[in-house]
Amino acid sequence: MDAVPHHRGAGSRGVPRAAFGFYPTDHAGAGELLRSIDRSMLFGGGATIEPYLADPTVEIHGPGYSKIVLGPDVADDWSAHLDVIVSSIEANGGRSCINCSAVWTPRNGEGLAEAIAGELAQRRALPTDDPAATLAAFANPAVAEQIDAAIAQGLRDGSAIDHAERLRGTPRLARIGRCAFLQPAVIWCGTREHPLANREFLFPYASVVECPVAEMPEAIGPSLIVTALTEDRGLIDALMASRNVDRLNIGPVPTWQLSWDQPHEGNLFEHLYRQRALQIQAA
């Protein structure tokens, strides 16, 4: 066990040296840790978190599947919101659960996909020390290769197309030195049931899907963050009532824009501790 080094004043800030331990291990070892403690938090992909989804002692932090939803009043005027959409997809290298991984619209989906791709196709792989670099490197090229292969498999039957790759004219997978990069992908999916329609990857990736407005709140599935670009009261009310949506932004708010006093995945205290009221009256 390696404890966090003690810094002067750490105890007075509520972080004693003994409060932290680091246990390098594999997935099996992580499982033993989760089974041996009363409360825990787990971060990981879909396969990692699946065995613990029904375990109330484990707070799950898995894929976000965050989305941007266009209302019927915006579907024909999406160009006014293109900057917010692109920023939501690519900020921080597109690597966060709070990045947009899907854009849902009631119509004009392929035109929207082409416009988003036109912006993101300009972001190319560059050396990590280049001041213009915006894409994160994969130190282990095998990870990038696996992601690229999964996307290629989803595109194989022709029912979806990566418009960013088409406009860029170069493959998604790029190599610079010993590192690999995935250049942005914007996937137009012919149906919302397509296997690439609701996926999340560690680079600027987004699918674009058409869906009737009345079906969207249920059809989008579990979503950590949804930015609703609309003033349609019916859609807003339905998204507010939907159990699929953890955090709802109404208006042109990028999915990555958070506030410290509005945690997007609940209150850590509520999971780790039991709250109790206490009153003391001096004698």
Nearest to 234 by CA among 10, 109, 6, 73: 73
Q: Is 80 exceeded by the pLDDT of residue 136?
A: yes
* pLDDT number for residue 207: 98
Sign of CA dihedral 263, 265, 198, 214: negative
Per-residue confidence band for 44, with pLDDT thresholds at 50, 70 and 90: confident
Is-contact 264 99, C-beta < 8 A? no
pLDDT 10s digits, 53-101: 888 888 877 788 999 999 999 999 999 999 999 999 999 999 999 999 9
* pLDDT number for residue 228: 98
**Which segments within the chain are labelled E, that is strand?**
40-43, 58-61, 66-70, 100-105, 160-162, 173-176, 179-182, 185-189, 205-210, 223-229, 245-250
Residue 223 tokens read as 């979503």
pLDDT 10s digits, 232-275: 999 999 999 999 999 999 999 999 998 777 766 666 667 677 77
Lowest average pLDDT, out of 1-10, 160-169, 196-205, 228-237, goes to 1-10
pLDDT 10s digits, 177-226: 999 999 999 999 999 999 999 999 999 999 999 999 999 999 999 999 99
In order of their start, the domains of the chain are: 22-62 (no CATH), 66-250 (3.40.309.10)
Q: Where are the alpha helices (DSSP H) in the chain?
A: 27-36, 46-49, 82-90, 109-120, 141-155, 163-168, 216-219, 233-241, 268-272
Q: Please state the rounded mean pLDDT for residues 6-25.
A: 66
